[in-house]
A and B are shown apart, each in its own frame.
Chain A
Amino acid sequence: MAGDYRRRFTFNFLLKLINPALWAGNQWLGFQRGAASLWSRAGLMPRPRMRACKVAEGHLAASLLIVLVFAAPAFALDGTQLLKQIDRNLNPESFEMYRKLINVEPDGRKKEFVLFSVKKGLDKIAALFLEPASERGRSTLRVGENMWLYIPNVGKPIRITSLQSVIGGVFNNSDILQLDYAAEYDVVNVDETGNEYFLQLKAKSKTVAYDQLKMWADKNKKLPTKIECRTEADMLIKTLYFKQVKDFGGGTVRPSYLETDSPLYKDYKSVMIFAKIQKKDFKDEVFTLTFMPNIDSLRK
C-alpha cells in the first residue's frame, strides 16, 4: 500500500513538472481518452490558456518519453487496481456461495432457481442447480473461456457459450459463471463524480460475453452500484443494479441483491439474491469435466 502511494506521489510530481509540455504533446499526438482521464484523476487537466505554450522540440521529446515510460503503467495500475479492489470486495478469490435467481415476467409471474457455486482463482467457477426440480442436478463449469453444461439425463457435459442462457430470462451463462471483472476486462477510463467512480471497461478478448461495461461504483465502499453491459457498437444489452449491502462474515461486505433489466426483454426483470458467501479453497480437480456430476458432494 505504501508502495502504491509512493509511486503515485512520484508520478504526480513528474506530471506537474511536464504538464505544459505534455499538453502540447497531447494535442500533437491526438492523445486518447485514457490519457485525458489520467489528467482528470491527477487533478491536472490543463486550462485553455496553456494552449499558448511554446515548447522546445527537445523538451517535447523528453516529456513524451517520460510520459510513455510512466503514464501507461501508472494508469493501468490505478484503473486495474481499483477494479481488482472492487472484485475482492465483491468476493474472496476462492469461495463458495448460494444464489437464488428469480425471473419476473410483466404479469408478475416468477420462476425461481437456486444455485450452489464454487470459485477458485481468476478463471475457475462451477455452479450446480438445486431448484427447481426440473433443473436439479444440472451443473455448469467454466475454466477460462471454456464453458460446459452437464445435464443428469443427458449424462455428459456439453460445451456451451457465454451468451447462451441455460435458464431462460435475462441472465445468461456469463452472469451465472461470472469471473473477476479484472480477469475479463481492461479499464479504459476511470472518472470520479461525487461519491462514485465511473469505470469504462473493455473486454480483453472477443470471447467475453459483453464487449463493454460501464460501471458505477460507490467510492467509499468500492462496490459496484450499477453496471451497463454493452455491445461493441455501444448498444445496451442489460443493466445490473447492485443493492442491499450486507455483511456475509469473514470480511465480505457486499450487495446481496442484484437486479437486472434489459431493453431486449421489455418489462421483464431478473433478480439474483446472494447467501452464505464463504471463503473456501478447493482443489483444482474440482473444476474439471470429470468432476461435474459430483459438485453436490462439496456442499456440507
Chain B
Amino acid sequence: MNRAIPSILLWGLILSLPGLGRSADEKEEYKFDASEIEKKPYHLGGYGEFRPVVNGLDHDAALYKLRFYNRDEGKTTEEYNFKLLIDGSYEKDNARFFLRLSYDLNNTYLGWKDDVTPYEAFLSLKPSHSLTLDGGKKVAKWGKGYAWNPVAFIDRPKDPDEPDLALEGYWVLSADWIRSFSGPLKTLSFTPVFLPVFDGINDDFGKTGQANIAAKLYLLLYDTDIDFIVFTGGSRTTRYGVDFSRNITPNLEIHGEFAYIEDFQKRYMDAGGNILSSTYDTASYLLGLRYLTERETTYILEYYRNGTGYTEDELQNFYQFIDRAYDQYLATGSSAFLGRAQNLSQGNYGRPNPMRDYLYLRVSQKEPFDILYFTPALTTIINLDDPSFSIAPEVVYTGITNLELRFKATFLVGGEGTEFGEKPNDYRLEFRARYYF
C-alpha cells in the first residue's frame, strides 16, 4: 500500500505533464504583451488599395455621347486604380497634429493620371476634456443620414454608392465645447466653425473673398441625438438644419435630417437649350431607418427629398440638348454645344443624384452559413421621379488580418431620358483589395 502511493503520485505527475505542457502552450498562444499597448507620441497608418474596374458602356446614353463623342472605346472600358491613404499624427501634451494624405494613381481610357490630396491636416489643442480647439483642414461630416446628408453644409457631397469613403475637408478654425448632465438632457455640445474662402483656400466651396460661419448644437435628449445646425456667410446662402437619430427598439434605429436653404440659385436648361436661373427658398430632408433582424440581416432604408434638385423635365431637357449637340457634332464636326453641355455636367447636372426624390435600400447579411468575416450585401438607389434605379450586389471578406477584399457589381436600369438610363454605362464590375498598415 505504501509503495503504491509514490507510484500513483509518479504516474499522476507523468500523466499531468502533457496537460501542464498544453496549459503552458495555451498561455503562450494567447499572450498579451505590454508592448502591444504602449502609447507612442507618433502614429503612422493607413491603407493601400488596388481597384480594377470594368465598365459596360451604353452607346445610346446621353452621358456616353457627351463623354465619348470623339472616341470609340468599344463595349467596355477598364480602369486600374491605386490608392495610398496615409494617416499620421504626432501628440505632445495637450496638442496633436493630424494628417491624412491621399495619393491616387489611375489608369483609365484617358491614360495614366496621379494626384496627391491632403484630406485633412489640422492641429488640435485640448485644454480640457470639455474643450477642443482645431485649426487646419478638417472634415466635419455633419448629419445622420447614411447615403445623403442635406444638413452637411460644410462638407463635400458624398457619393451615395460609397458613403463610407474618406472625404476631403475644408480649411477651418473650429471648437468643440461639451457639457454633460444627469437627467433627460445627458449631453450638450456646441461646435462653432469659421470657414474662410479666398483664392487658394477653400476656393471650390463658393464665392471667394468671403468669411463664413457655421455652428452645430448637439443634444442627447431623452436618448435621442439631436443637432441644430446653421450656416451663414458670403460664399453660400444662409441655411438652417436639424437632424435626429434614435433607437426605437434595441434593433431599430430611425434618423432624419431637415435643411432649409434661403435664396438657393438653380441654373437649369429649358427645352430650347437655354440656360436659365431661378432663385428660391427650398427645403431638403431625409428620413431613414436601420433595422437589425435576429438573423443579423441589416436593412438601411432612406427616403431623400432634394429641394435643390432638378425636375424630370429639367433633366430631360439637358439630355435632349446633349442628343442634339451630338447630332450636330456628327453632322458638322463642331463640338461647341457638347462643350457647353460638358460645362453644365460639371455643375449640378453632374451630381451623383441630381433629381428630387430618391429611395435608398441596403440589405447586408453578416456571416451567412457560419462563414466568419464574410458579408454579402445588396444596395439599390431608386429615383422615384423617373423611375430608374441602380442595383448593386457585393461581397466583402475580411478574414485575413488587415486585408479587406470586396467584389461589387452595379447595374443601372432605366429608359430613355431617365437618370440611370442616360448614364454612360449599363453596368460596372469592381474588385477592391485594401491592405491596412
A residues engaging B (CB < 8 A)?
98, 100, 102-103, 105, 109, 111-112, 114, 116, 130-134, 136-137, 143-146, 151-156, 158-159, 161-165, 168-169, 206-209, 257, 265-266, 268, 271, 273, 275-276, 282-291, 294, 296-297, 299-300
Contacts and interface: CB of A to CB of B under 8 A. Distances in A.
Contact of B436 (A114, A134, A285, A290): A134
B401 interface: yes
B32 A143 contact: no
A276 B402 contact: no
A266 B223 contact: no
B436 A133 contact: yes
A154 B162 CA distance: 10
Given A154-B164, A155-B166, A163-B296, 19 more contacts: A132-B401, A134-B403, A137-B87, A152-B87, A155-B139, A156-B142, A158-B146, A159-B247, A161-B247, A163-B250, A168-B367, A168-B398, A268-B370, A275-B32, A275-B37, A276-B37, A288-B180, A291-B129, A296-B39
A164 B294 CA distance: 10
Contacts, number: 156
Given A273-B30, A275-B37, A290 B178 contact: yes
B36 A133 contact: no
Nearest to B247: A159
Contacts of A283: 129-130, 180
A160 B370 CA distance: 22
Interface of B: 30, 32, 34, 36-37, 39, 45, 47, 87, 91, 94, 96, 124, 126, 129-130, 132, 139, 141-144, 146, 163-167, 176, 178-181, 186-187, 189, 191, 218, 220, 223, 225, 245-247, 249-251, 253, 255, 290, 292, 296, 298, 366-367, 370, 372-373, 398-399, 401-404, 436-437
- Which are the 10 A-B pairs with shortest beta-carbon distances? A284-B180, A155-B141, A133-B436, A134-B436, A156-B141, A290-B189, A285-B178, A273-B32, A153-B166, A100-B32
B277 to A, nearest CB: 33
B96 to A, nearest CB: 7
7 contacts: A153-B166, A156-B142, A158-B290, A168-B398, A209-B250, A288-B220, A290-B176
B36 A114 contact: yes
A134 B402 contact: yes
A163 B437 CA distance: 29
A297 B96 contact: yes
Contact of B290 (A103, A132, A159, A276): A159
Contacts of B296: 163-164
B45 A257 contact: no
B372 A112 contact: no
Contact of A146 (B142, B144, B220, B436): B220
Contacts of B220: 143, 146, 288-289
